[in-house]
Amino acid sequence: KSIFKDAADLLSRKILFLPKDIQFKLKKMACIGSQCDITILHLICGDDSASKEPPDELCNINIAIAVDEGLIQKNGPNYDFAHDQIESAAYSLIPEKHQGPWHLSIGKKLLSSCNSEEEIEKIIFLITDQLNRGKLSMKEEAEHISLIELNYRAAKKAISSSMFSNASHYLKEGISLLDETHRETHHRLWISLYVSYAETEYCNGNFKNVRDTVGSIIAHAKSLDDKVPAYKTLCLCVGSGRKNYRRSAQIGLDVLGQLGEHFSINQSQVTAMAEFLKTKFLLLGKDVDIIMSKVMEDKQMLVIMDLLETTSIYCPPYFGFILVFRIVQLSISHGVSVNTAFGFACFSALLNNADDLHNAYKYGNFALDIMRRMHAREKYCRIYPILFSSVFLRSNRMHSCLDTVLEAHREGLKAGDVTCAIICATIYCNIAFRCKKKLALVKKDLTDLGREAKVYRQESTWNLVYPLEQAILNLMGHAEWPNLLDGDAIPDGSLERC
């Protein structure tokens, strides 16, 4: 600590020997971070001649001394601090009481420099970060509301790039600016922040935060419509622990009941068979073009379809199919949605299990066609593993299924559907083993994908591949008792959790 402090003091003194305008620019640059675009630096330093001369020439003239001194480096359109200690030293020269106002001033300048929503979107992270660091210097209520909205916009942009940790940060910042009065005066903004925060924390594997946030939404939301997205996220969160599948399914069924779709998890297999035959009858004479001729538009029906799909994942197999049949039936009567493809994929898998390969292949292709026509890449992780571990695994060569299932895994992570993404990973490893991929390569895939599962707190789902991993170790001669499916790859009690 003493060495670092001495180094920081030396660097601070070195900066203080520079001309005042260079010190000013370095301090402003330190407010931005380790790297700063030349145009941005020129703007935040307040030079009114910005529109008269190229900013890079002006900045080069004024800051060339700092470059010569080795404090910063020119890197394309940016200036970079040569070392993080230099950045810290420059920032330390701003009195602590002035740091917040400086950040606030920078954020406001950046925001006011944007002439359109598109320009704001390009630098939304930078603007929001600066205003967040200067929020304690804000005095007007309107400024706080504007910053809350900016944090929400920044979070949505981060989500679109699958940066769920960053998104949670912005949502948490926005929530920290809310008080009880905002729950009434800006209820829609309040709901949007809390629902999005629950969703991103599920993606990050922070399940306690999900439960706490959903609890707040359920307690304070004014309508069932506001609560449904939270219930769906809770359903996914609870279902991440395999012992909680039944409880997760019950959450979904309770909400479906409130929406007018009544089911009992104790319904018999006779009911499932009756719904299967009903669905088969409704599909007679219908090709994919007839089914796609009507698109579902009713908002409540779209919510029901989404909940039917999510809930079916966590139901006992025969009962899950009852919900799947309902998805197909509603698609025929009310039009297709992105959930229709999932319904047909599951219907195809059921027919495959019944050895009706012709219709299994037909409806499997229905699912793919509907998904592609609706550009539903976020559904890859739910549809591809169903089809490419059942009917298409029988009709295609195993090797041809590998890349498709791995793509589904990656798309699932991008979409934040982490449980289904990890299920894709388990299926990928099983297919890789069955199609005689080299054992060492399958073992490496298991290690890499298992590490990913741990990051997303999906260990209970990843338990499914422990027997496979142990079998590979046995075959590679890395087990003490190769004739027993027991060893280092199977943690104590993990098979019970499967």
**DSSP character string of 179-220:** -HHHHHHTHHHHHHHHHHHHHHHHHTT-HHHHHHHHHHHHHH
Cα–Cα–Cα angle for 481, 484, 485, nearest 5°? 120
Instruction: Give me the percent of the chain exceeding a pLDDT of 90.
Output: 66
Residue 6 confidence class, pLDDT cut points 50, 70, 90: low
State residue 327's pLDDT score: 97
Residue 29 confidence class, pLDDT cut points 50, 70, 90: very high
Instruction: Give me the percent of the chain exceeding a pLDDT of 70.
Output: 93
Question: How far is Cα 310 from Cα 95, in angstroms, rounded to an integer?
Answer: 53
Residue 94 confidence class, pLDDT cut points 50, 70, 90: very high
Is the pLDDT at 154 greater than 70, yes or no?
Answer: yes
Give the residue, 224 or 45, on which the prediction is more confident: 224
What digits encode the pLDDT tens for the residues 250-289? 999 999 999 999 998 888 889 999 999 999 999 999 999 9
Pairing of strands 35-37, 72-75: unpaired
What digits encode the pLDDT tens for the residues 213-259? 999 999 999 999 999 999 999 999 998 866 678 899 999 999 999 99
Write down the pTM of the prediction: 0.86
Give the residue, 289 or 494, on which the prediction is more confident: 289
Mean pLDDT of 363-372: 94
Is the pLDDT at 123 greater than 60, yes or no?
Answer: yes
Residue 50 confidence class, pLDDT cut points 50, 70, 90: very low
Q: What are phi and psi of 432, to 5 degrees?
A: -60, -40
Question: How far is Cα 92 from Cα 102, in angstroms, rounded to an integer?
Answer: 13
